[in-house]
């Protein structure tokens, strides 16, 4: 009888706690889309794009959120398709290539000689939950454009953009981050092309 009670208790425990062993669904995976840049005159420049660093907490594949109390955390059940610096670099290279305004564009691992380098630091790329009921996508990039021949900086600036999320959902939040990034990248590209056009041929 005692063994039967123990067996029944074990079966009950297994039923109660079996749910804890249910598999966790895999995270949804998102990418950073390449923005469409404004058309303009071409410049005879071979550009290397280097995403040289990020603010603390933004160098991985987690989609970051900022909460009250200076707390940084990551959205549950979602992540980037690669580390954020890799995605930002790929998106910027693709956007600049597609603009048709440069002789060539390559990433940090490119094998060809470049005349200029564009170094980008990701300072913000996050959902800001401190500003109201709905999060606001915040993107900020610190940019330095330099000449490769003498390693001279030609221009250094910061671009920032924000976009309110339509609702507190992963897909709409990522869409807001895409919009903010596209706006910041567009402003960056305008300043870069202006500085390159001022260079003597």
Query: In angstroms, rounded to a whole number, what is the distance separating the alpha carbons of residues 68 and 107?
Result: 36
Range of the domain at 89: 31-197
Mean pLDDT by 10-residue block, N- to C-terminus, for the chain (201 residues)?
Answer: 36 40 84 96 97 95 95 95 98 98 95 96 98 94 96 97 95 97 98 94 66
Q: Which residues contact 88 (CB under 8 A, 6 or more apart)?
A: 32, 51, 120, 122, 125, 181
Q: Which residues contact 141 (CB under 8 A, 6 or more apart)?
A: 120, 121, 122, 123, 158, 159, 160, 184, 185, 188
Cα torsion 146, 149, 150, 151 to 10°: value is 30
What CATH number does the domain containing 82 carry? 3.40.50.10610
Query: In angstroms, rounded to a whole number, what is the distance separating the alpha carbons of residues 133 and 171?
Result: 17
Residue 116 included in any domain = yes
Query: In angstroms, rounded to a whole number, what is the distance separating the alpha carbons of residues 80 and 31?
Result: 6
Q: What is the pTM of this model?
A: 0.86
Distances (CA, A) of 50 to 54, 93, 138: 12, 9, 21
Beta bridge partners of 120: 51, 143
Q: What pLDDT, on a 0 to 100 scale, did the predictor assign at position 151? A: 92
Backbone phi, psi, residue 145, to 5°: -105, 130
- How many folded domains does the chain comprise? 1
Q: What pLDDT, on a 0 to 100 scale, did the predictor assign at position 20? A: 52
The maximal CA–CA distance of the chain, rounded, in angstroms, is 96
Do 37 and 104 contact (CB within 8 A), yes or no?
no
Residue 126 included in any domain = yes
Residue 129 included in any domain = yes
Residue 24 included in any domain = no
HSE toward the beta carbon, residue 127, CA cutoff 13 A? 26
Residue 169 included in any domain = yes
Residue 11 included in any domain = no
Q: What pLDDT, on a 0 to 100 scale, did the predictor assign at position 7? A: 36
Residue 8 included in any domain = no
């Amino acid at each position: 009888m005692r063994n039967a009670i123990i067996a029944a208790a074990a079966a009950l425990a297994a039923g109660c706690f079996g749910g804890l062993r249910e598999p966790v669904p895999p995270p949804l995976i998102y990418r950073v889309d390449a923005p469409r840049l404004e058309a303009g005159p071409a410049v005879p420049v071979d550009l290397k794009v280097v995403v040289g660093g990020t603010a603390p907490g933004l160098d991985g594949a987690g989609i970051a959120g900022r909460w009250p109390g200076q707390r940084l955390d990551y959205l549950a059940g979602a992540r980037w398709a690669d580390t954020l610096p890799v995605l930002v670099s790929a998106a910027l290279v693709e956007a600049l290539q597609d603009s048709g305004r440069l002789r060539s564009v390559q990433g940090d691992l490119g094998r060809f000689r470049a005349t200029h380098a564009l170094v980008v630091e990701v300072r913000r790329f996050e959902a800001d939950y401190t500003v109201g009921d709905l999060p606001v996508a915040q993107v900020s990039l610190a940019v330095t454009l330099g000449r490769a021949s003498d390693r001279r900086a030609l221009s250094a600036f910061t671009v920032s953009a924000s976009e309110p999320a339509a609702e507190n959902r992963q897909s709409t939040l990522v869409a807001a981050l895409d919009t903010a990034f596209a706006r910041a990248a567009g402003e960056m590209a305008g300043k870069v092309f202006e500085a390159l056009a001022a260079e003597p041929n």
